[in-house]
């Protein structure tokens, strides 16, 4: 396989992994103020993701680094172009990251409440913006012949992109609620189940609207054809199955299914994108592709070797963490955060 | 104001701020790992209390380093898109490798370390802290490999377009990038500075508790003993390696050295300025105290030797790179160099004096000494910040030395407007400012609470 394609796939894998993993901890962060009212249960909610969130976030940093290394023009055009959106995302991630560490380090109720809301905002904004970003990438944005984005901030907030934002927001919320249901006990567990069941229908609706919007706003359907293949269909089927699994208290399976929805949806978007990495709405010839945005074959080769050695190692020890901390967070669990 | 100035300010603010937290992370991760190893080896509870106490302060600091680091990862694309396009083929690789090798390691195992006290064996738990320390310091290695390319480009080839203009630099040799000689003077300098920073951090806080006669004197006395040696080794090596680094710099960026010394004209033997007030426009001294021959001695370990001055190098660069001003801001370079060196030398003497006292178990510090030790906590921070200011400001007008000027690296106005950069500059400054207050509050609170404090929210 050509290395440019390999790196397109690797970056897609990194984003897919990132959405799968960080998706549930965004969801948990957003649900926090609503699902848990007293301090002890809030701390339990935060501690379900306490061990994992930082490791999950590195998936994004690695994806960003991989974009820079493999497709510098993609990195340069997208992050200079989506400037204010990225700024919002970065500020959100900053307050979110310190909120985990700082929240329970002072007993003042106002202090704690403030950080809880920081966790909420810091999770809400990225959960929404990722959908907005992906929708814009696939829909096409004004990119000129010099690979510069010339559209400004509000151009990104079109109806299709906002639908994408709501779809990702709700999908992550659902994913997070089911994760909480898996990782807590008693009352919290029950509440998480109720939230998941309530969230399922709006998630399905927004995902559906996103797909329908895609028919009008993007060239996904003309490119993939009316029979898009198994992957998008799997994305839909796995999302539909969630409600039945939850009703039968099979939350482990339900979690896998929302995870698969995220995985298959992300793959679908990247499939629709390939071989482009950023679509120009001004002229298809101005689109950034895996060829005109890429690094040299030499750099790609070096990076491929590094990735082939270290990605499996990282996957191995991250999986081990999830295994070590597989137990539910209950009333007797020692809480760190 | 234009995009360039604003983008430079933002880079300066966010990077210096980020580097408030990084050196302590580098040094304290190793320190905590050493303490926990001592706990595993001896089984003494005092080492566990020390591990937990310094570990908690480590975590508060670490969180700030992580979140401000995210900005660094994306800022090149946001404000420096032309730079990213120009060097992406080279510069992106160490950044991606840093994330893959180092960030995953430190963040994953730190999560295990925080939550794993009851779930892992003692040995395995201590091992996770070592992995955090290795991860943090590996991350420094890869980001410095990236920075070293900007200081001393190695292993690249330039690509020109049809018009003959250089459009991008491409990686020609990965190993030349990694084994760039600059990496191997800069990386040890940064690591040892981190050790010194952590050493002085522990010295100051331990001194406070010894002064206040807090409970658990054993822990603070032990901490002080270990940290004074730790700080001394760190800062002594940092000074010596820094000296080598400056000698190396004479070869690769003589202009930076000349600016750091405020040496306008070439001298042989060269004198060292102790104090200069200069006129940057006219490039001459208004007032200066200089020690004859000392700069030659420092530069070449010999009583004579030519050290080239700003005017000479400027003339050479005009010939080599075309018309333009190749002189970095001299006053900033000069004073940041002096503050860094001054702070470093002071730290050598202070840590040596502390070793001299504590290794003979003399902890009855006089008030003046306590004051000095508490105040000396500012020294590593001063040295760390001014060191980077010299490294980056002293390289101007280049962003990649000899290859790309800073003014040509900024995102074009069609993509990023001055208003956008101003917005981000204001918001980052504001949020960072608030977080600094919060962070200092928490560090102080937990530092004062001491080793015997147990969280009262833990039922």
Residues 273-332 of A with CB under 8 A from B: 295-296, 298-299, 302-303, 306-307, 310-311, 314, 317-318, 321, 324-325
Q: Look at residue A335 and tell me if it is in a domain.
A: no
Select from B61, B70, B175, B447 the residue whose CB has the most chain A CBs within 10 Å, as the one to mutate to test that interface: B70
In a domain, B353, yes or no: no
Give yes or no for a contact between A300 and A294, defined as CB atoms under 8 angstroms apart.
yes
Asked if the Cβ–Cβ distance from A72 to B99 is below 8 Å, we say no
Interface of B with A in 120-139 (CB under 8 A): 120
Q: How far apart are CA B79 and CA A80, in angstroms?
A: 6
B445 contacts A296? CB cut-off 8 A: no
Residue A225: predicted pLDDT: 64
Residues of B in contact with A61 (CB under 8 A): 70, 73, 99, 103
Residues listed for chain A: 337
pLDDT of A258 > 90? The answer is yes
Would you put residue B291 in left (φ > 0), alpha (ψ -120 to 50) or beta? beta
Domain residue limits at B137: 3-249+377-456
State how far Cα B115 lies from the chain centre: 30
Q: Do B92 and A65 touch (CB under 8 A)?
A: yes
For residue A128, pLDDT over 80 is answered with yes
Q: What is the ipTM of this complex?
A: 0.90
Task: Note which residues in 15-54 of chain A have CB less than 8 A from chain B.
Answer: 39-40, 43, 47, 50-52, 54
**How far, CA to CA in Å, does B245 sit from each of A120, A200, B155, B223?**
46, 60, 20, 31
Chain B positions touching A58 (Cβ under 8 A) are 99, 103-104, 107-108
Please give, rounded to a whole number of angstroms, the shortest distance from the CA of B423 to a CA of chain A.
9
Facing A68 at nearest CB: one of B68, B88, B439: B88
The answer to whether A80 contacts B95, with C-beta atoms less than 8 Å apart, is no
> For A207-250, how does the pLDDT look when each residue is reduced to its tens digit (9 = 90+)?
999 988 888 888 877 776 666 678 888 888 898 898 989 889 89
Instruction: Check CB contact of A333 with chain B, cutoff 8 Å.
Output: no
Secondary structure element (H or E) that encloses residue A36, with its range: none
Structural domain range at position A28:
3-324
What's the start-to-end Cα distance of chain B, in Å?
Answer: 55
* Cα–Cα distances in angstroms (integers) from residue A45 to residues A31, A57, A259, A333, in the given order: 9, 18, 20, 12
Asked if B81 and A80 come within 8 Å (Cβ–Cβ), the reply is: yes
Nearest CB to A104; choose among B87, B100, B457: B457
Calpha distance B358→A40 (Å, rounded): 44
Q: How many domains does chain B have?
A: 1
* Pairwise CB contact (< 8 Å): A79 & B92: no
A 10 A CB-CB count for B247 gives: 15
- Rounded to the nearest 5 degrees, what angle is found at the Cα of A302, between the Cα atoms of A301 and A308? 85
DSSP, collapsed to helix, strand or coil, labels residue A116 as helix
Structural domain contains residue A243: yes
B95 touching chain A per CB within 8 A: yes
CB contact under 8 A, A79 and B78: yes
A17 occurs within a structural domain? yes
Identify all chain B residues contacting A97, using CB atoms and an 8 Å cutoff: 63, 66-67, 70
Chain A CB contacts of B68 under 8 Å are 94
> Under an 8 A CB cutoff, do B59 and A101 touch?
yes
- Chain B residues whose beta carbon lies within 8 Å of the beta carbon of residue A298: 170-172, 174
Scan residues 228-257 of A and list those with Cβ closer than 8 Å to B.
none
Q: Is B416 on the interface with A (CB under 8 A)?
A: yes
Q: Is B282 exposed, middle or buried (0-12, 13-18, 19+ CB in 10 A)?
A: exposed
| B16 is a domain residue | yes
- Per-residue pLDDT, B455: 61
Any chain A CB within 8 A of the CB of B157? no
Q: How far is CA B320 from the centre of its chain?
A: 32
The total number of structural domains that make up chain A? 1
Q: Is residue B306 in some structural domain?
A: no
Count of C-beta atoms within a 10 Å radius of residue A18:
22
**Which positions of chain B have pLDDT values less than 70?**
1, 455-459
For residue A318, give the nearest of A48, A53, A127 by alpha carbon.
A53
Instruction: Give the H or E element holding residue A225.
Output: none
In a domain, B187, yes or no: yes
Interface of B with A in 60-89 (CB under 8 A): 60, 62-64, 66-68, 70-71, 73-74, 76-79, 81-82, 84-85, 87-89
**Sign of torsion, CA B369 B371 B372 B374?**
positive
CB atoms within 10 A of CB A38: 8
Nearest to B136 by CA among B25, B280, B259: B25
- Whether pLDDT at A111 is above 90: yes
Partner residue opposite B84 with nearest CB, options A68, A81, A104 = A68
Within-domain flag for A334: no
Partner-chain contact A324 B119, CB within 8 Å: yes
**B98 to chain A nearest CA, in Å?**
8
Q: Looking at the domain assignment, is residue A329 inside a domain?
A: no
What per-residue confidence (pLDDT) applies to B269? 83
Q: For chain A, say whether B414 makes contact (Cβ under 8 Å).
A: yes
Task: Please count the residue pairs, one from chain A and one from chain B, whose beta carbons lie less than 8 angstroms apart.
Answer: 231
CB B259 within 8 A of CB B334: yes
pLDDT computed for residue B459 by the predictor: 34
Query: Do the Cβ atoms of B70 and A336 come within 8 Å?
Result: no
The DSSP-derived string for A130-162 is: HHHHHHHHHH-B-B-TTS-B-S-SGGG--HHHH
Q: Which residues of A touch B134 (CB under 8 A)?
A: none
Using the Cβ of B108 and the Cβ atoms of chain A, whether some distance falls under 8 Å is answered with: yes
Look at residue A305 and tell me whether its pLDDT is greater than 50.
yes
A 97-156 residues with CB < 8 A to B: 97-98, 100-102, 104-107, 144, 146-150, 153
Instruction: State residue B458's pLDDT score.
Output: 44
């Amino acid at each position: 396989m050509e290395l440019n394609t390999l790196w397109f796939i690797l970056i897609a894998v990194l984003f897919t992994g990132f959405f799968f993993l960080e998706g549930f901890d965004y969801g948990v962060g957003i649900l926090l103020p609503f699902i848990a009212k007293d301090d002890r249960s809030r701390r339990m909610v935060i501690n379900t993701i306490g061990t994992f969130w930082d490791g999950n976030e590195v998936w994004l940093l690695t994806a960003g680094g991989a974009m820079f290394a493999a497709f510098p023009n993609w990195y340069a055009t997208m992050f200079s172009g989506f400037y204010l959106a990225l700024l919002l995302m970065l500020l959100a991630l900053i307050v979110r990251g310190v909120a985990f560490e700082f929240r329970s380090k002072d007993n003042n109720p106002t202090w704690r409440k403030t950080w809880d809301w920081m966790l909420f905002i810091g999770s809400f904004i990225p959960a929404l913006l990722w959908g907005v970003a992906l929708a814009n990438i696939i829909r096409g944005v004004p990119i000129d012949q010099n690979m510069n984005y010339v559209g400004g901030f509000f151009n990104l907030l079109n109806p299709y992109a906002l639908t994408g934002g709501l779809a990702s927001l709700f999908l992550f919320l659902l994913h997070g609620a089911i994760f909480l249901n898996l990782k807590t006990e008693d009352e919290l567990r029950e509440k998480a189940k109720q939230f998941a069941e309530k969230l399922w229908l709006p998630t399905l609706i927004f995902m559906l609207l996103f797909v329908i919007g895609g028919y009008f706003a993007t060239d996904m359907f003309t490119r993939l054809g009316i029979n898009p293949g198994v992957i998008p269909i799997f994305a839909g089927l796995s999302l539909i199955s969630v409600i039945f699994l939850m009703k039968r208290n099979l939350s482990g399976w339900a979690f896998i299914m929302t995870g698969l929805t995220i995985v298959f949806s992300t793959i679908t978007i990247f499939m629709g994108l390939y071989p482009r990495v950023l679509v120009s709405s001004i002229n298809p010839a101005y689109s950034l592709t895996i060829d005109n945005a890429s690094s040299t074959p030499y750099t790609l080769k070096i990076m491929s070797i590094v990735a082939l050695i270290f990605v499996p190692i990282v996957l191995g020890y991250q999986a081990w963490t999830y295994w070590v901390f597989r137990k539910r967070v209950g009333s007797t669990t020692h809480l760190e955060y | 104001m234009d995009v360039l100035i604003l983008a430079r300010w933002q880079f300066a603010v966010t990077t210096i701020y980020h580097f408030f937290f990084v050196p302590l992370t580098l040094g304290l991760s190793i320190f905590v790992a050493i303490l926990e190893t001592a706990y595993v080896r001896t089984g003494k509870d005092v080492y566990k209390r020390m591990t937990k106490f310094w570990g908690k302060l480590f975590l508060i600091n670490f969180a700030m380093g992580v979140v401000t680091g995210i900005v660094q990862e994306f800022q090149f694309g946001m404000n420096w898109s032309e730079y990213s396009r120009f060097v992406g083929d080279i510069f992106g690789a160490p950044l991606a490798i840093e994330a893959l090798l180092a960030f995953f390691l430190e963040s994953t195992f730190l999560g295990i370390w925080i939550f794993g006290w009851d779930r892992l064996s003692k040995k395995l738990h201590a091992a996770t802290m070592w992995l955090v320390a290795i991860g943090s310091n590996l991350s420094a290695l890869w980001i410095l490999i990236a920075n070293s390319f900007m200081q001393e480009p190695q292993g690249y080839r330039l690509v020109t377009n049809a018009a003959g203009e250089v459009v991008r630099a491409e990686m020609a040799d990965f190993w030349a990038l990694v084994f760039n000689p600059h990496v191997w003077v800069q990386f040890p300098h940064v690591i040892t500075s981190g050790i010194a920073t952590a050493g002085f951090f522990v010295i100051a806080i331990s001194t406070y508790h010894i002064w206040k006669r807090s409970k658990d004197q054993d822990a603070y006395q032990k901490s002080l003993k270990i940290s004074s040696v730790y700080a001394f080794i760190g800062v002594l090596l940092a000074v010596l390696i820094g000296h080598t680094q400056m000698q190396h710099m004479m070869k690769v960026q003589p202009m930076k050295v000349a600016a750091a010394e405020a040496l306008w004209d070439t001298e042989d033997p060269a004198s060292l300025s102790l104090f200069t007030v200069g006129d940057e426009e006219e490039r001459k001294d208004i007032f200066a105290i200089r020690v004859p021959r000392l700069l030659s001695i420092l530069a070449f370990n010999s009583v004579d030797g030519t050290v080239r001055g700003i005017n000479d190098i400027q003339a050479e660069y005009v010939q080599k790179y075309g018309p333009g001003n190749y002189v970095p801001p001299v006053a900033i370079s000069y004073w940041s160099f002096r503050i860094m060196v001054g702070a470093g030398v002071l730290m050598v003497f202070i840590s040596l004096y502390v070793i001299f006292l504590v290794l003979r178990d003399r902890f009855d510090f006089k008030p003046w000494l306590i004051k000095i030790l508490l105040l000396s906590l500012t020294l590593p921070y001063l040295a760390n910040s001014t060191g980077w200011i010299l490294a980056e400001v002293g390289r101007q007008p280049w962003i990649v030395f000899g290859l790309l000027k800073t003014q040509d690296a900024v995102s074009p106005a069609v993509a990023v407007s001055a208003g956008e950069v101003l917005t981000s500059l204001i918001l980052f400054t504001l949020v960072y400012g608030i977080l600094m207050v919060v962070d200092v509050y928490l560090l102080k609170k937990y530092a004062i609470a001491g080793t015997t404090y147990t969280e009262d929210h833990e039922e």
